[in-house]
Amino acid sequence: MGVTHRTHVSYIDRTRAYYAALGYERPYQYAHHTDAPFARLARPLSECRAALVTTTSPWNDDPAALPKPFERSGVWAGDASSVPERLLTENRSWDKESTHTRDVQSFLPIGHLKAHAEAGRIADAGPRFYGVPTEYSQSRTLREDAPAIEAMCREDRVDVVLLAAL
């Protein structure tokens, strides 16, 4: 009798095999933090400014200016007063046969964040959203990207950040 449904896929095993095939000598180590830098909010969420972080890159109509796969594009910020028409997602790995990223709100829900502000669930949405490249170096993420995002959040007086990863 044949299999009538999918069996599970071990994401961890597949990821390790993928990196080995790329030539990495050490198996990929998933991030784990026993001393995660999270803290209880000092005030209710309804009194906090919230912002979004995405793992996409800004869109550029010039194909020569677009980052190549695995090219580091750097931390960036965008104006949250409107939803961007398009962000660069094609250079990232995702199931392009089963879905698409033409609906920016599906992975950068600025409109939903603003609706939560209007409903009083948060005080307001921050003036910017932030972009951080998908990075395969945990040390670089911790050493460079996270502090850069934190600095922008502090500048914008953001209390709560939501990661809307692609």
Instruction: Say what the pLDDT of residue 20 is.
Output: 87
Residue 100 is assigned to a structural domain of this protein: yes
Residue 87 is assigned to a structural domain of this protein: yes
* Segment 57-71, tens digit of pLDDT: 787 777 666 555 555
Residue 28 is assigned to a structural domain of this protein: no
Residue 91 is assigned to a structural domain of this protein: yes
Question: What single-letter DSSP state applies at residue 78?
Answer: E
- Give residues with Cβ within 8 angstroms of 153, minimum separation 6: 51, 126, 130, 161
Instruction: Say what the pLDDT of residue 119 is.
Output: 98
Domain count, the chain: 1
**φ and ψ at 17, to 5 degrees?**
-65, -40
Splitting the chain (166 residues) into consecutive groups of 10 residues, what average pLDDT does each group show? 68 82 82 73 94 86 61 81 83 73 87 96 96 77 90 96 85
Residue 126 is assigned to a structural domain of this protein: yes
CB contact at 8 A, 145 and 73: no
Residue 31 is assigned to a structural domain of this protein: no
Q: Which domain holds residue 50?
A: 42-164
Residue 149 is assigned to a structural domain of this protein: yes
Residue 10 is assigned to a structural domain of this protein: no
The 3-state DSSP class for residue 131 equals strand
The whole-angstrom separation of Cα 78 and Cα 56 is 11
